[in-house]
Amino acid sequence: MADYYEVLGVERTASEEEIKKAYRKMSRKYHPDIAGPEFEDKFKEVNAAYEVLSDSNKRQMYDQGVDPNNPQASAGFGGGSFNMGDMGDIFGQFFGGGFGGAGQGPIPRTQPGRDALASVVIDLKTAVFGGVAHAEINTFALCQECGGTGAQAGSQPVTCPDCKGRGFAQKVVRTLLGQMMTSAPCERCEGHGTIIEKPCASCMGHGRVRAKRSVGVTIPAGIRDDSRLRLASQGEVGEGGGAAGDLYIDVRIKADKQYTRDGDDLHCWIQVPMSWAVLGHELTIETFDGPQKITIPAGCQPEDTVALKGLGVTKLRTQERGDLVAHIAVHIPTKLNDRERDLMTQFGQLHDSSAGHVAQSSRPRNAGKKGFFSKLKDALS
């Protein structure tokens, strides 16, 4: 029995969120459209593991020693009984089919396509307001020359003369139990029951061709970084022009030079002269909504903030928006000319002459205000 925990790279005590996160990482890593067709089996193994571990009932069965994806292979663990169905499966493994071909028929040429995976990178402004991005994918598309039939124009598949359209061939084999009738897919038509005598030159009878195309992706306002969107029927077209699978788009938001996102709020740092912080000042800053006026209050202190309501990120599924929060960074000059020094000396004599001692404490006065953005301030100073 496969170790699904090892396949996803998680512990047996992993939470649902940890399993989901591991699956998304592994599915991106091994998806054939990204890693290459040689990783198709590994991709299927990852999907099988997630199908079991993401379902609480199936996971419980698996932890008890029964693989829900292959319960008969795990029957010894779960105490399953042996019946004639099991016997039929065993004979099927030895002889390549069921007895007398019961329940068998032609394999349809039209098969559903697989899901595909791609990614897009958007800027922060698109995440705030929503928009359209374009993903470049390279996957199977419908063959335009034959329309998915796999046959040349004017021709149609014909009934296989060997199996007479049944898709399987019967033969008698001698076993320890005597002679038995077995069945197997017809070698001439590969089990389809029909033969394409004049295959399409473009797709060689498969009804699909690999092609590159650009897919428009609607980005919802307020989308979070590392989100995954689903585009129905935009994935890989199946054999014989079968219905396309779904296309999954991983959305990444690149860092912005002016703003940092925290939930539905936008944050920025504004460096102002010391005189503006002391006397107050009105200035204009650039926002995603265009130029906006902001007022620095007189006596503004470092780490103080000024909020512009409703200019943040649009909240998902609503028209409301968060706030734009401007953090004030006061620029203290390090070099003064003689006149500036005289003026500062006069100011100190008038304002600070009564200061007889320096206030001392174990923490800064505004330590309670510091947190996530204090590191950002230090990086920008």
Residue 88 located in a structural domain: no
Residue 195 pLDDT: 95
Residues 76-106 as b or e (16 or more Cβ within 10 Å = b): eeeeeeeeeeeeeeebeeebebbeebeebeb
How far, in Å, are 165, 170, 325 from residue 95 at the CA level?
21, 11, 73
Annotated binding residue 268? no
> Are 102 and 213 in a shared domain?
yes
Q: Evaluate whether 33 touches 115 at the Cβ level (below 8 Å).
A: no
* Residue closest to 237 by CA, chosen among 107, 115, 106, 144: 115
> Are 101 and 245 in a shared domain?
yes
Ranges of beta strands (E only) in the chain are 116-122, 131-142, 158-159, 168-175, 178-185, 194-195, 208-219, 227-231, 247-253, 260-262, 265-273, 281-287, 290-296, 305-308, 324-331
> Are 278 and 238 in a shared domain?
no
> Are 348 and 207 in a shared domain?
no
Give the residue numbers spanning the domain of 226.
Answer: 95-255
Here the tokens at position 55 are 């379902």
- DSSP 3-state assignment of 108? coil
Of 198, 221, 255, the last residue of a domain is: 255
Annotated binding residue 203? yes
Residue 89 located in a structural domain: no
Residue 85 located in a structural domain: no
Distance CA 185, CA 282 (A): 82
> Are 353 and 372 in a shared domain?
yes
Residue 90 located in a structural domain: no
How far, in Å, are 112, 148, 150, 232 from residue 244 at the CA level?
6, 12, 16, 8
Q: Evaluate whether 231 touches 246 at the Cβ level (below 8 Å).
A: yes
- Provide the 10 A C-beta neighbour count for residue 5: 20
Q: What are the backbone dihedrals phi and psi of residue 226, each rounded to the nearest 5 degrees, phi first?
A: 65, 30
First to last CA, the chain: 57
Annotated binding residue 160? yes
Q: Which CATH number fits the domain that encloses residue 21?
A: 1.10.287.110
Residue 144 pLDDT: 95
Residue 83 located in a structural domain: no
* Residue closest to 149 by CA, chosen among 193, 208, 197: 208
pLDDT tens, the chain, 381 aa long: 688 999 999 998 899 889 988 988 888 888 877 777 788 888 888 888 888 898 888 888 888 777 877 654 444 444 443 444 444 444 444 444 444 444 467 999 999 999 999 999 999 999 999 999 999 999 999 999 999 999 999 899 999 999 999 998 877 777 777 777 778 889 899 999 999 999 999 999 999 999 999 999 999 999 999 999 999 999 999 999 999 999 999 999 999 999 999 999 999 999 999 999 999 999 999 999 999 999 999 999 988 999 999 999 999 888 899 999 999 999 988 889 999 899 888 888 888 776 655 666 555 555 444 444 444 444 444
Residue 375 located in a structural domain: yes
Residue 121 pLDDT: 96
> Are 1 and 116 in a shared domain?
no
> Are 243 and 266 in a shared domain?
no
> Are 102 and 243 in a shared domain?
yes
One-letter amino acid of 18: E
Q: Which CATH number fits the domain that encloses residue 328?
A: 2.60.260.20
Residue 84 located in a structural domain: no
Q: Which CATH number fits the domain that encloses residue 107?
A: 2.10.230.10
Of 29, 46, 78, the last residue of a domain is: 78
Of 202, 222, 255, the last residue of a domain is: 255
Name the domain count of the chain. 3
Distance CA 114, CA 98 (A): 29
> Are 223 and 313 in a shared domain?
no
> Are 42 and 141 in a shared domain?
no
> Are 213 and 340 in a shared domain?
no
Residue 87 located in a structural domain: no
> Are 147 and 230 in a shared domain?
yes
Distance CA 236, CA 245 (A): 5
Q: Evaluate whether 184 touches 97 at the Cβ level (below 8 Å).
A: yes
Residue 25 pLDDT: 87
